[in-house]
């Protein structure tokens, strides 16, 4: 499932569906495969707000559709 499909909760980043430039942008934001992040807000069609440690990151909805995640129970 993609990050854009998660309303709230913790997820693990499973991979990226975008190209090399997209992957570089995610790495520059500090988002890596295997990271556990918490979705704080997902207000379609606005940005998806995630928290990683003490950092909050806003990701555009289009970019969030390219981030593959696994739900953590």
Please tell me whether residue 24 adopts helix, strand or coil conformation: helix
Residues 42 and 58: their CA atoms lie apart, in Å, by 10
What is the model's pLDDT at position 21? 96
Under 8 Å between Cβ of 47 and 60: yes
CATH 3.40.50.300 fits 3-71, yes or no: no
73, pLDDT greater than 80: no
> Whole-angstrom Cα distance, residue 3 to residue 37?
10
Question: Which residue from 13, 26, 17, 29 is spatially nearest to 69, judged by alpha carbons?
Answer: 13
Looking at residue 27, its pLDDT comes to 95
* pLDDT tens digits along 12-64: 999 999 899 999 999 999 999 999 999 999 988 899 999 999 999 999 999 99
Q: What is the pTM assigned to this prediction?
A: 0.92
First to last CA, the chain: 15
pLDDT digits (tens, 9 = 90+) for 11-20: 999 999 989 9
């Amino acid at each position: 499932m993609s990050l854009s499909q998660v309303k709230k909760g913790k997820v693990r980043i499973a991979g990226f569906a975008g190209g090399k430039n997209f992957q570089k942008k995610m790495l520059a934001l500090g988002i890596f495969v295997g990271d556990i992040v918490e979705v704080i807000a997902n207000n379609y069609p606005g940005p998806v707000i995630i928290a990683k440690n003490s950092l909050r990151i806003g990701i555009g909805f289009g970019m969030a559709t390219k981030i593959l995640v696994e739900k953590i129970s």
